[in-house]
A and B are shown apart, each in its own frame.
Chain A
Amino acid sequence: MAELANPVHQPSSFLRRYIFSQDHKVIGIQYLITAMFMGIVGGLLAMLMRIQLAWPGQNMPLLSKLFPDGMAGGVMKPEFYLSLITMHGTIMIFFVVSLALVGGFGNFLIPLQIGARDMAFPFLNMLSFWTIVPGCLIMMGSFFVEGGAAASGWTAYPPLSAVRSAVPGSNWGQTWWIVGMALFIISFTMGGLNFVTTILDQRTKGMSMMRMPLVVWALFIASVIGLLTFPALLAAAILLLFDRHFGTSFYLPSGLYFGNHLLPNKGGTPLLWQHLFWFLGHPEVYVLILPALGITLDLLPVFTRKPVFGYRMTIYCLYAIAILSMIVWGHHMYVSGMSPYVGEFFAIGTLSITLPSTIIGVNMIASLWGGSLRFPAPMLFVIGVIVFFGTGGFGGLFLGNATSDIQLHDTYFVVGHFHLMIGGITLLAAFAAVYYWFPKMFGRMMSDRLAKLHFWLTFPTFYALFLVMHYQGLAGMPRRYYAFDKYEFLSGMVKSQVHISLVAFVLGAAQFIFLFNFFWSIFRGAKAEPNPWNAATLEWTTASPPPHGNWGEELPEVHRWPYDYSVPGAASDCTPQTVPPGIAPVAM
């Protein structure tokens, strides 16, 4: 790492420093703010959906001005509703959670926690961010092209996504969707290559792999999963583009009619897309959830003042989850006419993932045991993650099992389950991480009082929303339907729809407390101490915010693992990783 002879030198122009910056900290914050912006967009789409579901056919003249096509005359069109569900899912999964957890905290934390001056390839890092920005713009812009945004669900199942005349959204909206996703994949690949290379090659002296904080481990494994599975989606998306624009029929079987018009395609099958999509789609949820678990495990020792429980076992479990995640994609396809024997294979694989997942969950709970707990806002969110992980994961047992999934497939049970898991867990962990690392990012503290208010308006509302959806699903309510008022067997669900919508509005409004807190604290927050949480990991040994190059002339030297809290014989209850063995005993 001799190439940075003058580590404190940094570009002086505003443009190079804050906009086209190559500093991993600036890029991390850029990712985070982009994710927040996209989060507002994705959240507002959800609010529109909830208005429609609770009060179907309601006239809303105000919205007809914003979407003259989709809300013509103030009443939502079914096609527009389909665009809403598609874009809500796509934006939230790929452009909010991935950006915040992997792009944002991955960039910000990895070099700081392993003692590097920056990422291995700073320029590539900048390129990765500036590839995602047009991706976001294209995704949002697709609402305003002819026919509106893509309407085939975030899974983009053909033939809806492959035949341009299928629904209005299948026209240019779907093409823009594919281009936006391609930009996301390219950006993620550049980022992932950078992460893995940096973690393997740039660690400072003494920072062996088994001394890395668990959040770095989780990001490492998540990046590896992403690098191994995104290529499948890339290949699939290229073929989808060919099917749409160049007359191939990879995903289109023969004899397909659309509007009394026989399509000329023959020979393909939509199942091919489903396999390829879920080969990425299932590992993708682990790409999202592993960093969230890593953040949780990293924050727990700070607020319990004792080492994390089962460090090694957690790492082995991360590996196990990574491997298993790639052989279970079929559990999304139990109703696709799959052979029961193949279904059994996927069911057994899926249920085996509960083993490493449960071990990680138990490690989290055991990390609480016997600690001296304190409850600032980040800890509340961490506890929230543990609770969601336990209870939300329980629904996975029903969906992973082919027998019960055939009943629950494509019902609101699924919607409730994945919103608790990759909605709730990842968002709560992201909030915990923002509250916790904010002083490192900006040198100021966020308001703890507002943060706690944010927590108490977010955590219970998540349950009030998505637990109810589980019951709706058990009652047989299918997902992605435009309105439910015409079905007699669901007439008992009308009130619960209104309930869910009202709670959703509270949840959506509560997020503005967070946004206000974030931007207000950047300028007005109380000045933070160098190590406000008394944490032992490496990033707290440098200034806040850290200078360009992260450390002064000398890189830090690491002498112990990252969780030396309350070591017997040490001077304080927290021994940073840089303290040599002579001063405090080395536990690990």
Chain B
Amino acid sequence: MEITAAAQPANWDGGVSPFGIGWSKLMMWLFIVSDGLVFAGFLAIYGFIRLASPDWPDRSRMFHLDFIALMTFTLISSSATMATAVAAAREGNRKTVLRFLLLTVLGGCAFLGMQAYEWTGLIREGAGLGSNPWGAPLFGACFFVLTGFHGSHVLSGVIVLAMTAVRSRMGMARAEGVELAGLYWHFVDLVWVFIFTLFYLI
């Protein structure tokens, strides 16, 4: 056997991850990758359907893009407040953590409210899972599934953040817990940027 002792790296000390992060955070990252791939799947499906459809509605005419821009701005601002909360949690400043977590929850709720408003308007105009008054029959299905799946993620994010806020008020939240919730929230926001770009703009 051609085995050389020199090829072996220096002794592994154990318990320290190759990425230098603890296992909760490592798992959160892996979960985000996996969940992100579900969105990638949905976006790929949407792309496939759109390429296969002979006509695709003109989004600038049917959506109020300035309103969608406001939604996007709200969600991205909530990412900023979240980052502030995480930084405050690292410094152990409980009051700031709570304040900025609540602001983030508020941002998330505002986004959900605006999405509900947008959905209601479109449904009133006749859009639905099986119908679309502007042409391509699968447009409505793609729109509601994609934004609905994202909206459900925002909703679960809001719930997680609210729980973290309560725990932080009671003094039970660890800095890492706030950070993990933050990772998830940033992920949800990032996905929206993709949906905004690929569905509404392009």
Give residues in A with beta carbon < 8 Å to B: 1, 115, 120-121, 189, 192-194, 196-198, 200-211, 227-228, 230-232, 234-236, 238-239, 242, 246-250, 264-269, 272, 275-276, 306-307, 309, 555, 558, 586-588
Contact = CB atoms under 8 A, between A and B. Distances in A.
B35 interface: yes
A210 B8 CA distance: 8
26 contacts: A120-B23, A197-B26, A197-B30, A200-B17, A201-B15, A202-B15, A202-B23, A203-B12, A203-B14, A203-B15, A228-B37, A231-B34, A231-B38, A232-B37, A232-B38, A234-B41, A238-B149, A247-B128, A248-B141, A250-B45, A250-B49, A272-B49, A555-B14, A586-B5, A587-B1, A588-B8
A249 B137 contact: yes
A242 B45 contact: no
B66 interface: no
Contacts, number: 137
- Interface range on chain B (Cβ under 8 Å from partner): 35 or more
Nearest to B149: A238
Nearest to B4: A588
A581 to B, nearest CB: 9
A210 B4 CA distance: 13
Contacts of B149: 238
B35 A231 contact: yes
Given A205-B12, A210-B9, A268 B23 contact: no
B22 A201 contact: yes
Nearest to A232: B41
A272 B48 CA distance: 8
A249 B137 CA distance: 8
Contact of B130 (A189, A202, A227, A248): A248
Contacts of B145: 238-239, 242, 248
A247 B129 contact: yes
A13 B4 CA distance: 50
Given A272-B49, A307-B1, A588-B3, A235 B26 contact: no
A203, A238, A248, most chain B CB atoms within 10 A: A248
Contacts of B48: 272, 275
B73 interface: no
Contacts of B18: 200, 209
Interface in B100-117: none
Given A189-B34, A239-B45, A309-B1, 11 more contacts: A1-B14, A197-B30, A201-B15, A203-B14, A207-B12, A231-B35, A239-B145, A250-B45, A555-B14, A588-B3, A588-B7
Given A120-B23, A208-B9, A588-B3, A267 B137 contact: yes
A266 B137 contact: yes
A309 B3 CA distance: 11
B33 A206 contact: no
Contact of A207 (B14, B31, B136, B141): B14
Contacts of B5: 586-588
B130 A201 contact: no
B42 interface: yes
Given A232-B41, A239-B45, A248-B145, A1 B15 contact: yes
Sorted from nearest, which 6 A-B pairs have the closest CB atoms?
A: A235-B41, A247-B130, A231-B37, A205-B14, A267-B137, A248-B141
Contact of B141 (A209, A250, A307): A250
Interface in B12-28: 12-15, 17-19, 22-23, 26-27
Nearest to B12: A208
Interface string B29-54: 01101110110111001001100110
Contacts of A236: 41, 45
B31 A193 contact: yes
Contacts of B49: 250, 267-268, 272
Q: Which of A193, A228, A236, A587 has the most CB of B within 10 A?
A: A193
A437 to B, nearest CB: 24
B19 A200 contact: yes
Contacts of A586: 5
A197 B34 contact: no
A197 B141 contact: no
B137 A120 contact: no
A377 B45 CA distance: 49
A471 B22 CA distance: 54
Contact of B14 (A115, A249, A306): A115
Interface hub of B19, B37, B149 (most chain A Cβ within 10 A): B37
B8 to A, nearest CB: 6
B141 A242 contact: yes
Interface in B114-165: 128-130, 136-138, 141, 145, 149
Contacts of A247: 128-130
A302 B27 CA distance: 34
B11 interface: yes
B2 to A, nearest CB: 10
A586 B137 CA distance: 67
B33 to A, nearest CB: 7
Given A227-B33, A250-B138, A204 B14 contact: yes
A238 B26 CA distance: 27
B91 to A, nearest CB: 25
A202 B8 CA distance: 20
A587 B12 contact: no
Nearest to A279: B41
B138 A249 contact: yes
A271 to B, nearest CB: 9
A588 B129 CA distance: 60
A297 to B, nearest CB: 15
B26 to A, nearest CB: 5
B23 to A, nearest CB: 4
A283 B91 CA distance: 45
B149 to A, nearest CB: 8
Contacts of A200: 17-19, 23, 26
Contacts of A197: 23, 26-27, 30
Given A205-B11, A267-B137, A267-B138, A235 B30 contact: no
Contacts of B41: 231-232, 234-236, 276
A235 B12 contact: no
A210 B37 CA distance: 29
A208 B9 CA distance: 8
Nearest to A119: B23
A561 B34 CA distance: 32
Contacts of B35: 231
Contacts of B12: 203, 205-208, 211, 558
Contacts of B22: 201
Interface string B55-96: 000000000000000000000000000000000000000000
Given A121-B27, A196-B30, A242-B145, A234 B137 contact: no
Contacts of B3: 307, 587-588
A175 B167 CA distance: 39
Nearest to A306: B1
